[in-house]
Structure 1
Amino acid sequence: MFFRREVHLNYTGLPVPSCPLCNRFASRRLSQGQWERSLELIHPDIVADLHLTAGASPQFGLDALCAIVRRVAALRPSLKVRAFTWSELETAAEREGTTPDQTLEALVEAELDSLAGGTLMDLTPDRPHLVGERTAQLERRAPWVAAAAARGLRCEVSWVYGDEDDPQWIIDGLARIRDLQDRWGIFQCFTPLLFQWPSDDVEIPMATGYNQLRAVAVGRLILDNLARVRGSWAALTESMMQVAFWYGADDAGGAVLPGDDLTGTVIGQEQLEELIRGTGRDPIDDLRLTNDD
């Protein structure tokens, strides 16, 4: 069972709706000096993914994103910079008037290692009138996928699901992701994520464990051209993550490195390895395996 050691950094403090783990880091609103000091606390020899994401902000154009990547790479060269969702990239490119190729080329020159990626479609479950809009959004992002493939940038892909999703739409959406993977091959891992309404005032049926496990199983069956399916502890809870291993998940998500101010709300490497062993599986550090290769 695979996992990764991760350092999380939200450079704006804005929420990232498509990622429950990223949202745990969204409320801190660290200044540049503060997040630089947080990186300096990490041992310089530690090899880990730096998961660098934030809510899309028009204040951050391409030059700003490149500057952040360069600064991180200079502070901790051992960290592999996995940064920016599709929404962040689109916002930066729109501000600067750059194409997907120009945007990603600049980020690669700034020493970006891979993309965060995330959801190709910003979905709201149980709203069938938005199906055409979702499909158009995926098609608009296809050039970003092609540009990433041309530069050897890999990323993860997420799928947002709800309690009453239309099965036909689920199959159609996942089939489109499968087609992109067949053509470009940049997706390393598929992560199903439960949709969360931005307001507590909206009452909707909560997805059950059945919905969560079904999302993992359907993803594994349809996306057999992706190497990994993630049953993330952050998205499923610890116990449901363990059950998901029996439904096709072979990736437990990220073990967050110590030294962060969210101690107690995230899972570290030792605890995650213990949870994996509790299912009768051996934990494998994916990043260390990659570096050894």
Structure 2
Amino acid sequence: MDDTQRFKHSIEEKVAAGERLTYEDGVQLYEVDDLAWLGRLAHGVRTEKNGDVAMFNVNRHLNLTNVCAAACSYCSFQRKPGEADAYTMRIEQAVALAEQMKGDAPTELHIVNGLHPTLPWRYYPRVLKELKETLPEVNLKAFTATEIQWFQKISGLSLDEVLDELIDAGLESLTGGGAEIFDWEVRQHIVDHDCHWEEWSEIHRKAHQKGLRTPATMLYGHIEERRHRVDHVMRLRELQDETGGFAVFIPLRYQHDFHDSQDGKVRNKIQSRTTMASSTESLKTFAVSRLMLDNFDHVKCFWVMHGLDVASLSLSYGADDLDGSVVEYKITHDADNYGTPDKMTREDLLELIRDAGFKPVERNTKYEVMREYEGPQSLAERRAVPGSVMF
């Protein structure tokens, strides 16, 4: 038995015994070339936690402004005041867009924005309040930890006061954004704001104390190394041990953009020295994350950043959740030219999940089950439909 076989055997024993994996285990898991073995191991953990279910939600994204005081090196979404395609919605515009969303019967509105240098603090709780009045049955999942820290700066309020006002206005979850990669060795080269691990973790810790369950994310596949990804999930695992407030972990694949189609500018300052993670690397990242994060109930694939093929495969590599119907996700589509659709309907998601061999379950932001659907057809049933199975 060689060293790799011994390592694989020891990991199998740890997983079977429910023993927590170490940082060293995580780093070495990334080095294993046997992707099928890694997928089987992660799928076993995923199945033990969630059975044959794959969750999804029907959501819409709303970006109130792309004007941003920061200039993070990887970001093609941000614009400076005065740029031709910079925009900021009036509250009335945001409400009008929310009105148009009613026909899709969404259960979640996902709101992320730039750090606008002149918008007043009062704009944000007011827009939440008006959106909640317009879509009372829809969960408002809004703002990154970076935005929350920005609100503290522009309002002069404490973290407690900012969160309390937003919750009173209708906030039901923060988003997981702003995490990127926590390790300072990488972070100092990719972000241009003051919200780092200490601040990000404290904001989510406080949100958890106030009864919010939040997602956690990781942006991977740029200048970081695999060891930085392991460090990232280890930090999240430790915080989850403390608060229990994370609902889901979401690996986000860095988008290597070509140029911005509006003005031809290359805003991604690390583009010349980066590529996108391969599909194999993405599946590895899902699997290793699922194995390391033993205290997270769910791992989600955001199909917009991975493509539909990887999204489908991810459900067999540790993921148990797909997000979502979306519609016009500007932060990625302003960057990637990657070819993912703007929208997946409820029916599209049901088909994707069934084709991957799982039973679709529609959830809300709080991971409460909204509706269970029939699972995939058996091979015999599929053969009974002309043209549905080809050999």
Which TM-score band (shorter chain)?
0.7 to 0.9
Which residue is 1:107 aligned to?
166
SS of the residue corresponding to residue 72 of structure 1 reads helix
Tell me if 1:4 matches 2:54.
no
Structure ranking higher in strand proportion: 1
Once the 2 structures are TM-superposed, how far is the Cα of residue 206 of structure 1 from its aligned partner?
A: 2.9
In 2, Cα distance between the equivalents of 1:206 and 1:124? 20
Q: Do the aligned partners of 1:2 and 1:284 also contact (CA within 8 Å) in 2?
A: yes
In 2, Cα distance between the equivalents of 1:79 and 1:68? 14
Tell me if 1:171 matches 2:230.
yes
Tell me if 1:271 matches 2:348.
yes
**How big is each residue's C-alpha offset from its partner over 1:123-152, in whole Å with a ceiling of 9 and x where there is no partner?**
699848769x99x82112222122101210
Once the 2 structures are TM-superposed, how far is the Cα of residue 47 of structure 1 from its aligned partner?
A: 5.2
Q: Which runs of 5+ in 2 are unaligned?
A: 1-53, 78-84, 257-266, 334-339, 372-391
Q: Percent identity?
A: 26
Which residue is 1:199 aligned to?
268
In 1, Cα distance between the equivalents of 2:209 and 2:185? 36
In 1, Cα distance between the equivalents of 2:115 and 2:188? 25
Which residue is 1:290 aligned to?
368
Q: Do the aligned partners of 1:125 and 1:195 also contact (CA within 8 Å) in 2?
A: no
User: Quick one: which amino acid aligns to residue 43 of structure 1?
Assistant: K
Alpha-carbon spacing, 1:165–1:143, altered in 2? closer, same or farther (3 Å): closer
User: Quick one: which amino acid aligns to residue 83 of structure 1?
Assistant: A
In 1, Cα distance between the equivalents of 2:183 and 2:230? 16
Q: Do the aligned partners of 2:222 and 2:276 also contact (CA within 8 Å) in 1?
A: yes
1:54-69 correspondence runs (5 A): 54-69=113-128
1:245-256 correspondence runs (5 A): 245-256=315-326
Tell me if 1:95 matches 2:154.
yes
1:46-85 correspondence runs (5 A): 46=105, 48-85=107-144
SS of the residue corresponding to residue 171 of structure 2 reads coil
SS of the residue corresponding to residue 359 of structure 2 reads coil
Once the 2 structures are TM-superposed, how far is the Cα of residue 224 of structure 1 from its aligned partner?
A: 1.6
Alpha-carbon spacing, 1:98–1:122, altered in 2? closer, same or farther (3 Å): farther
User: Quick one: which amino acid aligns to residue 59 of structure 2?
Assistant: E
Which residue is 1:234 aligned to?
304
In 1, Cα distance between the equivalents of 2:223 and 2:247? 28
Alpha-carbon spacing, 1:162–1:47, altered in 2? closer, same or farther (3 Å): closer
SS of the residue corresponding to residue 157 of structure 2 reads coil
Once the 2 structures are TM-superposed, how far is the Cα of residue 27 of structure 1 from its aligned partner?
A: 7.7
User: Quick one: which amino acid aligns to residue 175 of structure 2?
Assistant: A
User: Quick one: which amino acid aligns to residue 137 of structure 2?
Assistant: S
User: Quick one: which amino acid aligns to residue 225 of structure 1?
Assistant: N
Once the 2 structures are TM-superposed, how far is the Cα of residue 117 of structure 1 from its aligned partner?
A: 2.8
User: Quick one: which amino acid aligns to residue 207 of structure 2?
Assistant: A
Structure (1 or 2) with the larger CA radius of gyration: 2
In 2, Cα distance between the equivalents of 1:84 and 1:272? 25
User: Quick one: which amino acid aligns to residue 206 of structure 1?
Assistant: M
Alpha-carbon spacing, 1:127–1:147, altered in 2? closer, same or farther (3 Å): closer
Once the 2 structures are TM-superposed, how far is the Cα of residue 11 of structure 1 from its aligned partner?
A: 0.8
In 1, Cα distance between the equivalents of 2:364 and 2:232? 29
For structure 1, which segment, 80-89 or 142-151, has the greater mean C-alpha deviation from structure 2 after superposition? 142-151
Count the aligned residue pairs: 285
For structure 1, which segment, 193-202 or 110-119, has the greater mean C-alpha deviation from structure 2 after superposition? 193-202
SS of the residue corresponding to residue 241 of structure 2 reads helix
Once the 2 structures are TM-superposed, how far is the Cα of residue 174 of structure 1 from its aligned partner?
A: 1.2
Which residue is 2:10 aligned to?
none
Q: Do the aligned partners of 2:128 and 2:171 also contact (CA within 8 Å) in 1?
A: yes
SS of the residue corresponding to residue 56 of structure 2 reads strand
Once the 2 structures are TM-superposed, how far is the Cα of residue 33 of structure 1 from its aligned partner?
A: 2.9
For structure 1, which segment, 28-37 or 218-227, has the greater mean C-alpha deviation from structure 2 after superposition? 28-37
Tell me if 1:180 matches 2:239.
yes
Which residue is 1:154 aligned to?
213
Q: Do the aligned partners of 1:121 and 1:137 also contact (CA within 8 Å) in 2?
A: no
In 1, Cα distance between the equivalents of 2:290 and 2:143? 25
- The TM-score with structure 1 as length reference comes to 0.84
In 2, Cα distance between the equivalents of 1:224 and 1:61? 41
SS of the residue corresponding to residue 274 of structure 1 reads helix
User: Quick one: which amino acid aligns to residue 213 of structure 1?
Assistant: L
